[in-house]
Amino acid sequence: MVIFLAFFSFWELASRLKWIDPLIFSSPTKVWHLFLIKLADGSLAEHIGFTLFETVLGFILGTLLGILLATALWYSTRLANILDPYLVILNAMPKVALGPILIVAIGPGFFSILTMGTIISVIITSIVVYTAFKEVDPNYIKLLKSFGATKTRCFKEAILPASMPAIISTFKVNVGLSWVGVIVGEFLVSSKGLGYMIIYGFQVFNFTLVLLSLLLIAIFATIMYQGVAYLEKKLIRRS
């Protein structure tokens, strides 16, 4: 908290004393004043709600689809041998560059933004979780199979619990990735949302609006991250 207070105090002081360009870097008081104006006219709540809905939904879908794909790869060695090289290639690609392609393929609007927020985390989730599945001690599997356990039983009793720390870590990574995907999608096609506010602020040279949007993204991304960290503590304590 002290660091934040010192940062905003220095920012305000630097802006007032013209150590930095107040037109470009604005100031905390200007950002706060704009926040109150946008909050009063109701436009800010709409933009925040739109982006939050897309981000949370993209985070959930991306994580679930990634885990399901990793599970399918673990179940089928043949499928893993086929898809594994392609997953590595796709992970190396700048997924943000897929935005224009998705817009052309799906069309501008909600679904293209949601797809962007989802696809950006699916690949990394599947790779990390599948790697965690493979690294589980094979002796656990042999022990369960010696008691007649099926592959599904082995997955439920050994693979999934042992991989839970890696899955939770993926949740944390996907918080940031889902925000990146949605904001980039809003940059390209949206007429509302925090990403749209940033682009609009640049277009009209209103950098106070840009900084307000960036601060709101940072706040809500932190809240999501803390929620995942709380979930991690609960799951680890239960296990």
Residue 113's domain spans which residues?
48-238
Any domain includes 209: yes
Which amino acid is residue 155, in one-letter code? F
pLDDT at 239: 58
Query: C-alpha distances in angstroms, 150 versus 95, 132, 154, 157, 212?
Result: 38, 20, 6, 10, 54
pTM: 0.88
pLDDT at 71: 94
pLDDT exceeds cutoff 80 at 107: no
Any domain includes 2: no
| pLDDT (tens digit per residue) in 205-215 | 999 999 999 99
Q: Nearest to residue 118, comparing CAs of 166, 56, 171, 163?
A: 56
Domain count, the chain: 1
Any domain includes 39: no
| pLDDT (tens digit per residue) in 84-94 | 888 888 888 77
Any domain includes 37: no
Looking at per-residue confidence, does 206 or 232 come out higher?
A: 206
Any domain includes 42: no
Which range among 64-73, 135-144, 146-155, 227-236 has the greatest average pLDDT?
64-73
Assign residue 198 the CATH number of its domain.
1.10.3720.10
Chain-centre distance of CA 40, in angstroms? Answer: 29
pLDDT exceeds cutoff 80 at 1: no
Distance CA 90, CA 74 (A): 19
pLDDT exceeds cutoff 70 at 180: yes
Cβ contact 91:126 at 8 Å: no
Any domain includes 36: no
- The rounded mean pLDDT for the chain is 88
pLDDT at 89: 84
pLDDT at 238: 65
pLDDT at 189: 82
| pLDDT (tens digit per residue) in 188-204 | 887 889 999 999 999 99
Confidence of residue 154 (pLDDT cuts 50, 70, 90): confident
Any domain includes 154: yes
Chain-centre distance of CA 185, in angstroms? Answer: 13
Looking at per-residue confidence, does 105 or 197 come out higher?
A: 197
Confidence of residue 106 (pLDDT cuts 50, 70, 90): confident
Any domain includes 29: no
**DSSP tag of 93:** S
| pLDDT (tens digit per residue) in 21-79 | 888 889 999 999 999 999 999 889 999 999 999 999 999 999 999 999 999 999 998 99
